[in-house]
Every structure is written in structure tokens, then in C-alpha cells.
């Protein structure tokens, strides 16, 4: 035990470990905040769908050899997010089907592009890295860290500022619109924020595991708490703790970062299920 602590203390001296912790915790916090409203609106899979879009976009960026891949990935993901959240009741293809369709299509196209136009000698390594999160969280530059911190702070401020509106629109969109809340504007805002978070989170957990970041904290919190505020606070806290524990564990044990954090989230969910049963006596 003491050796692990010494090992940790040693690692903490390296800036890349500190960067990974900061960025990981912030991304976990942001995604859990939005997760509550997404899960409640039956949009749990939007994280999954959008991250696959981001994967496809990344492939496009690689093929185009864009200098800064973000300039391709972010706009494409944003576009997909807006389209997906706009599909309400009056579209040809209903919500979940639309998400599933866009998700598999971009996954397939991304893989296809990477295979056909690849310039790298190790295609499957690249693909695996993008899907399951690579070690890129451990190779963040100071600029990237600053960028992530700024975006996260903006997301958090927006969430706090519009918290009551997000609640109203999530609970009853028709009512909110009927009494004069511009629901469309807030839906658009949510779509944009989600897209930004997903693009950020791709570095950490990869395309396939992002959903876990979005849904697990919210679901866990809902096992125990019964008001919107307490669910939100609990989800955020859980998510931060799991991200911290996961990243530290992965550094100590040499496991993949994203998968370890998700495993922590799953464990927390089980614990919350048990706690919820005890608390509510069901």
C-alpha cells in the first residue's frame, strides 16, 4: 500500500499526470451535468451517436490531412447534434432510430475511410485508439489543457445560469413553450454543449465509451435521490470521484484510462442501486 502511495506521489510530480487529472475531472463533471437532462428525455444514446459521428469526422480529417483536426471534427459533430435533437415528433425517422442510423453510418464510413486512405502503417492501432481512447490524455500539451479548462468552465457557467430553464424544458417542453419559454433556443444550446463535450471527451475515453460518461452518473444519482437538484449535484459529485479514482487506478495498474474510469462508473452504479434499495426500502 505504501508503495502505491509513493508511486502516486512520484507520478504527481510529472505535469502530464496532473494535466490528465484536471482535464479528466472537468470532462467528467460537464458530461454528468448534461447527462441528467439527456437521460430524462430518453436521449441516453445521443452521446453514443454523436461520438461515432466524431469518429467519422476524425477519419475525414485524417484523410484530408487537416492541420488541426478539431476544425473538421467540431463543426461536423455540432451539425449532427443539432439535427438529432431537432428530430422531435414530426420527423420521418423517430428519435432512437435516427440516432442509431447516424451512429452506425458514421462508424462504418469512418472505418472505411481510415482503411482506404490510410497513411499510417498501423491502421487497426489508430482505429482502436480512437474507439477506446488512446494514451493521448497522457500526452496533452499545456495549450490543450487550457483550452479544455476554458470550455469546461463555459459549459458549467451556462449550466448554472440556465439551470431553471433546462429543468422546465426537460420536465415539460410543451408547457414551457406554452407559457413563453423559448424552448427551441435552449434545445439548440444543449445540442451545442453536448457536441463540444463529446469532442473533448474523445481524447479521454474514445468514441465507444463516451455514453458511459453521460448516462452512468445520472442513472446512479437517480437510484438514491428524488429531486432534480439533488440528482444533479449527486451525479456531478459521483462523476468527479469516479474519474479521479479511475485515472489514478489506471496510472498505478497500467490499464487503459477510459475503460478504467467507465468500470468505476459501473461499480458506483451498482453501489447506488444497493443504497437506493436500502434508503427507499423497496
Partner 1 sequence: MPQPQILCENLSLGYEGETIVKDLSFAVEAGMYLCIVGENGAGKSTLMKTLLGLRAPLSGRVVYGDGLKKRDVGYLSQQTDVQRDFPASVREIVLSGCQGRMGLRPFYNRDEKETAERNMARMGVAELADRCYRDLSGGQQQRVLLARALCAAEKLLFLDEPVSGLDPTVTADMYRIIGELNQAGVTIIMITHDVAEALACATHILHLGSRFFFGTRDDYLREMRDAASEKEARTA
Residues that bind partner 1 (CB under 8 A): 40-42, 160-165, 167-168, 170-172, 174-181, 222, 225-229, 231
Cα–Cα distances (Å) from 75 to 38, 58, 80, 117, 158, in that order, read 21, 11, 9, 22, 20
For partner 1, which is the closer residue by CB, 6 or 172? 172
For partner 1, which is the closer residue by CB, 229 or 278? 229
Rounded to the nearest whole angstrom, what is the least distance from the CB of residue 101 to partner 1 in the complex?
Answer: 22
For partner 1, which is the closer residue by CB, 168 or 200? 168
Cα–Cα distances (Å) from 45 to 122, 145, 211, 226, 273, in that order, read 30, 27, 7, 23, 21
Rounded to the nearest whole angstrom, what is the least distance from the CB of residue 44 to partner 1 in the complex?
Answer: 13
What is the distance between the alpha carbons of residues 191 and 85, in angstroms, rounded to a whole number?
A: 6
Distance of CA 181 to the CA centre of its chain: 27
Rounded to the nearest whole angstrom, what is the least distance from the CB of residue 99 to partner 1 in the complex?
Answer: 17
What is the distance between the alpha carbons of residues 271 and 252, in angstroms, rounded to a whole number?
A: 23
CB of 20 within 8 A of CB of 137?
Answer: yes
Rounded to the nearest whole angstrom, what is the least distance from the CB of residue 192 to partner 1 in the complex?
Answer: 17
For partner 1, which is the closer residue by CB, 43 or 111? 43
Amino acid at each position: 500500500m505504501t508503495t502505491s502511495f509513493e508511486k502516486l506521489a512520484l507520478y504527481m510530480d510529472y505535469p502530464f499526470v496532473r494535466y490528465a487529472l484536471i482535464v479528466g475531472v472537468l470532462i467528467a463533471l460537464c458530461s454528468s451535468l448534461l447527462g441528467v437532462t439527456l437521460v430524462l428525455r430518453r436521449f441516453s444514446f445521443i452521446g453514443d451517436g454523436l461520438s461515432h459521428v466524431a469518429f467519422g469526422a476524425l477519419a475525414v480529417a485524417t484523410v484530408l490531412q487537416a492541420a488541426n483536426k478539431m476544425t473538421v471534427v467540431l463543426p461536423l459533430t455540432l451539425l449532427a447534434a443539432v439535427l438529432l435533437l431537432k428530430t422531435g415528433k414530426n420527423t420521418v425517422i423517430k428519435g432512437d432510430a435516427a440516432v442509431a442510423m447516424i451512429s452506425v453510418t458514421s462508424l462504418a464510413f469512418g472505418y472505411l475511410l481510415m482503411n482506404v486512405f490510410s497513411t499510417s502503417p498501423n491502421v487497426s492501432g489508430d482505429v482502436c485508439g480512437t474507439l477506446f481512447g488512446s494514451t493521448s490524455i497522457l500526452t496533452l500539451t499545456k495549450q490543450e489543457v487550457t483550452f479544455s479548462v476554458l470550455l469546461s468552465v463555459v459549459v458549467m457557467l451556462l449550466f448554472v445560469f440556465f439551470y431553471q430553464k433546462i429543468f422546465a424544458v426537460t420536465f415539460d417542453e410543451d408547457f414551457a413553450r406554452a407559457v413563453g419559454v423559448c424552448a427551441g433556443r435552449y434545445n439548440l444550446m444543449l445540442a451545442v454543449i453536448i457536441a463540444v463535450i463529446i469532442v473533448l471527451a474523445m481524447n479521454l475515453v474514445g468514441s465507444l465509451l463516451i455514453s458511459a460518461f453521460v448516462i452512468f452518473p445520472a442513472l446512479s444519482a437517480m437510484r438514491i435521490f428524488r429531486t432534480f437538484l439533488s440528482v444533479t449535484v449527486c451525479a456531478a459529485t459521483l462523476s468527479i470521484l469516479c474519474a479521479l479514482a479511475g485515472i489514478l487506478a489506471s496510472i498505478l495498474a497500467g490499464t487503459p484510462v477510459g475503460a478504467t474510469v467507465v468500470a468505476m462508473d459501473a461499480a458506483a452504479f451498482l453501489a447506488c442501486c444497493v443504497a437506493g434499495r436500502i434508503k427507499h426500502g423497496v
